[in-house]
Amino acid sequence: MKIAEHLYVYFWADQRENNCNSIFVDGKVPLLIDPGLSQRTDVLFTKMRKDGLEPSRTKVIICTHCHPDHFTGILLFKDRAVRIAISKPEERFIEKVGRPMYLNHGLTLPDYKIDFYLKDGDLTLGKHDFQIFLTPGHSPGGICIYWPRFKVLFSGDLVFMNGVGRTDLPGGDLQSLRTSINRLSQLPVNLLIPGHGPAIQGQENVKRNFETVKRTFLGTI
């Protein structure tokens, strides 16, 4: 579904579809954020094609973190000229902790090759300028992506509408989650698109949501 100029969002509707919200940014260097679960990526592709987008045009995939519901969809791109990006701490996590976590859930970590690593700072893809924020808490190397031009925040599983990412999975840490959320709550955000659930539109609504989750889940305000 087209949300704004260059921006398409495919919201997770039910278990028969994808297992996270996937985001496509069109342009000179087409970007896919969080391709989702490999068993459901074909549904994402079908939705993209209905919007006139050919998935094979994707040049860069960014995974906000490497939990299966966001990450295993990269399998569908392994024979294509696509560059995969995560943070360095997340790669360390997935090799030391994530691989056995996958096995414990009856899953196999996909063969993958990371082409470049994300860190705090600016990222330019074609004519689109983004800001990357390392936001541990839900996962040790989780990242969020801010698009200053449109004041859009892609928050992965850090913060949702009236909720925050769980910290009881391996590598989760409540204090880190609190610090990351406090940091991002300072940004001017017109549209917050989380990894699951509905988007939040309007700066006042986004600000109110940050205040709600900090008070309800983190014990801060």
When mean pLDDT is compared across 21-25, 71-75, 118-122, 160-164, the lowest value belongs to 71-75
Please tell me whether residue 22 adopts helix, strand or coil conformation. Answer: strand
Which domain range does residue 89 map to? 2-218
pLDDT digits (tens, 9 = 90+) for 129-187: 999 999 999 999 999 999 999 999 999 999 999 999 999 988 999 999 999 999 999 99
Number of domains making up the chain: 1
Q: What is the pLDDT of residues 75-96, one digit of tens each?
A: 889 878 999 999 999 999 988 8
Q: CB burial class (10 A; 0-12, 13-18, 19+) of residue 173? A: middle
Residue 96 CB coordination number (10 Å): 12
CA dist 11 and 8 (Å) reads: 10
Give the DSSP H or E segment for 145: strand 143-147
Rounded CA-CA distance 203/189 in Å is 5
Q: If you average pLDDT over residues 9-19, what whole number do you get? A: 77
Give residue 221's pLDDT band: very low, low, confident or very high (50, 70, 90).
Answer: low
Q: What is the mean pLDDT of the chain?
A: 93
16 pLDDT band, cuts 50/70/90, is low
Q: What is the mean pLDDT of residues 109-133?
A: 94
Q: What is the CATH number of the domain that holds 125?
A: 3.60.15.10
Question: For residue 191, what are its two tokens?
Answer: 């549209």
